[in-house]
Amino acid sequence: MAGLSLGKPAALAKGGQKTKNQIKNDKKKAAALKKKLAAADGLLEAEDAEAAAPTSAPTPPAPAAATDPAKRAKNLRKKLKGIDALQAKIDGGELAEANLDADQKKKLAGKADILAELEQLGI
């Protein structure tokens, strides 16, 4: 125990060099700071751009019909299968309608829309 000093950190015991983990953490902190500064600069630039340019309506998302109809139909059938499984759990007593979360209620409410879209696709 003669060579150990209790107050000396382990990183300095190797001749004042940082450990791999310390270097990695320093890099993470630097990247986070850089990201935060870039976001702040971007926010300021966005505010300047908004003040200079007139506001316009945001572009609407691409319509669902732009994708392959067969692919869209498969996706809709998958959603419908999930809705039917949820409804079966409710009918079977595994779930109570009062205990459904917002996503589950939204899923059940969207069944008619999915059926209408499937019919529109001709399937």
- The residues spanned by each domain of the chain are 18-52, 67-120
Residue 21: its H or E element:
helix 20-52
Residue 108: its H or E element:
helix 102-109
The predicted structure's pLDDT at residue 89: 92
The predicted structure's pLDDT at residue 9: 52
The pTM score is 0.45
The predicted structure's pLDDT at residue 13: 47
- Chunked into runs of 10 residues, the chain (123 residues) has average pLDDT values of 51 69 90 83 64 54 65 93 94 88 92 92 80
b/e string for 1-11 if b means 16 or more Cβ within 10 A? eeeeeeeeeee
